[in-house]
């Protein structure tokens, strides 16, 4: 059940059965020579919809733009500042908490969002408390990074070993190939790719990682692999979501 394809009457009925909602969140940023700029949002959205179907959960609109300031020296990358993203998350959660939602489960596709999301959750709890919100103590937020799930991590190691890297990875590229096979890209990849993991500003990032990759070989990606990652992530995150919404 997707929020933007539902009516308010359907959402009101849903709230009688569940107080949980899933939000996919990603980023709009470069992913090397062959990765789609929307990779992080595409992956999070596909998996969130799969989890929603498996658990009968409501899925909110995808937050496509995240905290990706370090990628903005590459054409096409779009970013929110951490302070802006914190306010976006605060307002999303506060709006829905007003009508009875208390469990907010964010399926994240971008590592750069993690610290900001955790700060945003603290802002949410403080804001609700300051407003003397009647259910402030019942509102809980959680972020789960699909790419860090144990089953996904194990599969990536089995398929790609140390060529998985940490950005523009074959696992995330494979998942986009599964979701959008008509958008598969081909480009020559330099066999020399930086194994560095340091991230500073945007100009430094492009100097350190000139083609946008961080230790990865996305040429190993296939749509068949993407299907495996999708199924593993949906299965694992469905269990995580159900545990989250039922925990007291």
Residues 63-110: pLDDT tens digits? 999 999 999 999 999 999 999 999 999 999 999 999 999 999 999 999
CA–CA gap between residue 40 and residue 25 (Å, rounded): 8
Q: Tell me, rounded to whole angstroms, the distance of Cα 6 from its chain centroid.
A: 22
Band of pLDDT at residue 135, cut at 50, 70 and 90:
confident
Which residues, other chains included, contact 181 with Cβ-Cβ below 8 Å and sequence gap of 6+?
A: 223
- Quote the percentage of the chain above a pLDDT of 70: 100
Long-range contacts of 134-137 (CB under 8 A, 24+ apart): 135/97, 135/100, 135/102
For 148, other C-beta atoms within 10 Å of its C-beta total: 12
Q: Tell me, rounded to whole angstroms, the distance of Cα 7 from its chain centroid.
A: 25
Q: Which residue has the tokens 């190939």?
A: 177
Q: What pLDDT does 151 receive?
A: 97
Q: What pLDDT does 133 receive?
A: 86
Q: What pLDDT does 192 receive?
A: 87
CA–CA gap between residue 240 and residue 244 (Å, rounded): 6
CA–CA gap between residue 92 and residue 21 (Å, rounded): 11
Model pLDDT for residues 171-204, shown as the tens digit of each residue: 999 999 999 999 999 999 988 899 888 999 999 9
For 59, other C-beta atoms within 10 Å of its C-beta total: 25
CA–CA gap between residue 46 and residue 179 (Å, rounded): 7
**Predicted confidence (pLDDT) at residue 205 exceeds the cutoff of 90:** yes
Band of pLDDT at residue 34, cut at 50, 70 and 90:
very high
pTM (2 decimals)?
0.96
Band of pLDDT at residue 226, cut at 50, 70 and 90:
very high
Q: Where are the alpha helices (DSSP H) in 99-212?
A: 114-130, 150-160, 170-179, 202-208
**Predicted confidence (pLDDT) at residue 248 exceeds the cutoff of 80:** no
CA–CA gap between residue 180 and residue 190 (Å, rounded): 25
CATH superfamily of 3-246: Creatininase (3.40.50.10310)
Which residues, other chains included, contact 110 with Cβ-Cβ below 8 Å and sequence gap of 6+?
A: 25, 26, 27, 29, 40, 44, 66, 67, 68
Q: What pLDDT does 136 receive?
A: 86
Q: What pLDDT does 154 receive?
A: 97
**Predicted confidence (pLDDT) at residue 15 exceeds the cutoff of 80:** yes
Average pLDDT, the chain: 96
Q: Which of 33-47, 59-73, 127-141 is predicted least confidently?
A: 127-141
Q: What pLDDT does 118 receive?
A: 97
Q: Which residue has the tokens 């039922």?
A: 246
């Amino acid at each position: 059940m997707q929020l933007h394809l539902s009516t308010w009457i359907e959402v009101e009925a849903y709230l009688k059965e569940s107080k949980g909602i899933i939000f996919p969140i990603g980023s709009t940023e470069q992913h090397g020579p062959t990765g789609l700029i929307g990779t992080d949002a595409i992956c999070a959205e596909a998996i969130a919809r799969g989890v929603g179907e498996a658990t009968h959960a409501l899925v909110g609109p995808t937050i496509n733009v995240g905290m990706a300031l370090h990628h903005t020296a590459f054409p096409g990358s779009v970013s929110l500042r951490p302070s802006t993203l914190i306010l976006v998350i605060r307002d999303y959660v506060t709006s829905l908490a007003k009508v009875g939602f208390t469990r907010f489960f964010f399926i994240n596709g971008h590592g750069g969002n993690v610290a900001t999301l955790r700060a945003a959750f603290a802002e949410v709890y403080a804001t609700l408390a300051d407003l003397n919100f009647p259910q402030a103590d019942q509102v809980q937020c959680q972020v789960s990074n699909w790419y860090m799930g144990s089953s996904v991590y194990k599969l990536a190691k089995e398929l790609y070993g140390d060529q998985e890297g940490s950005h523009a990875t074959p696992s995330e590229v494979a998942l986009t190939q599964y979701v959008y096979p008509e958008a598969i890209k081909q480009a020559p990849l330099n066999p020399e790719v930086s194994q560095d993991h340091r991230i500073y500003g945007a100009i430094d990032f492009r100097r350190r990682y000139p083609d946008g990759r961080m230790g990865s070989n996305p040429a190993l990606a296939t749509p068949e692999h993407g299907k495996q990652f999708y199924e593993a992530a949906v299965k694992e995150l469905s269990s995580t979501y159900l545990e989250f919404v039922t925990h007291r």
